[in-house]
Structures are given as C-alpha cells and as structure tokens.
Structure 1
Amino acid sequence: MTTQHEEPGHGDSPAAWTAVVVMLIAVTIGTVAFFLNMPWLVWASAGLLLLGLIVGWVMAKAGYGVRGPKFVPKKTH
C-alpha cells in the first residue's frame, strides 16, 4: 500500500484566476442590482456568472489550466 498521491492542484492557474475574477464581478454586480431592485441586472449578472464558469473551462481546455501545456507553475523556495 502506497501513501504517495498526486497533488490535484489548487487552481493557481490563469484559467482559474480568470474564472474567479469574472464570477466575483458578477456576484458584486448582482448584489448591488438586488439592493437597487433591478431584476433585469440581477439576471444579467447570473448570466455573467455562468459565463465566468464557461470561460474558465474553455481556458483550461486551451491549455491554461493547472496541468495544461501553456501553464508555467511558480517556483517555490
């Protein structure tokens, strides 16, 4: 029985960062729109949230994910 396992990665990649930033912007806009009683903007921000998820997935498939060929991990000391 081996105790070694492959680290799954922590999402520290361009794809993950882009997805998270887009989603944070969407949640921020949605929260303000909800407070200002603007239902159309709340739904638009929900769409932007889904778009952030899709953008992250597409970037990961394009090689910018944790194990992608275009991803260069940071060197740690």
Structure 2
Amino acid sequence: MSKATVPASKPATTGVAHHGVDHSAELGHGNSPAAWTCVIVMLVGALLASIAFVIANTPIFIAGAAIMVIGLIVGYVMRKAGYGVEGSKLKNSGH
C-alpha cells in the first residue's frame, strides 16, 4: 500500500462557467406537449419491453422497443409542428 498523501480538494469557484459551460442559463426542462407525449409513449414501450423480457417473449420485446422509437419520432414531429418548448402553437396570442 502506498504511503503517498492525497491532496485536499480545491475549493469551489464562484464563477458560473466550468469547462466552457455557462451554468447560469435557464434550461427550460422540456415542459411542452411534445416532450410529455414523447416521454409517455416511450414509457409505455419500455414497460412493454421489460414485461416481455421477464416472460422471455422476443416478438413483444421488439414491439416495445419499436414503440420507444415511435415515441422519439412523435416527439420530434410535434416539436417541428410547433408544440415544443417556445413553439409557435404555444405562444400566447393575447386572447
């Protein structure tokens, strides 16, 4: 076993950039109909695939994996249709 000492960790810096990433920017967290639909469809596919995995049913497992891919496609299409974060369909029109 080595007798070398481990240096103490460096104190946290007060800057907002770390490795070139600005951590003060608002992320948005994807709260949009497109994101929610994508996640819900993918969760259904993951549930189906995991049940199929436990019961060792390959065709149902593949169907669950396909549903997860379909969820990604649905989310992308909805985002392009204006239902994503700050999408044109979600902007307040003043009514």
Q: TM-score, normalised on structure 2? A: 0.67
Partner of 1:55: 74
Identify the structure with the greater helix proportion.
1
1:7 lines up with 2:22 in the alignment: no
Partner of 2:36: 17
The RMSD of aligned alpha carbons is: 1.9
Which blocks of at least 5 consecutive residues in structure 1 are unaligned? none
Partner of 1:31: 50
CA distance in 1, matches of 2:47, 2:37: 15
Structure with bigger gyration radius = 2
1:43 lines up with 2:62 in the alignment: yes
Which blocks of at least 5 consecutive residues in structure 2 are unaligned? 1-21
Q: TM-score, normalised on structure 1? A: 0.82
Higher relative contact order (Cα pairs below 8 Å, separated by 6+ residues): 1
Aligned residue-pair number: 70
- Aligned-residue offset at 1:65: 0.2
Residue identity matched to 1:15: A
CA distance in 2, matches of 1:7, 1:57: 22
Give % identity. 47
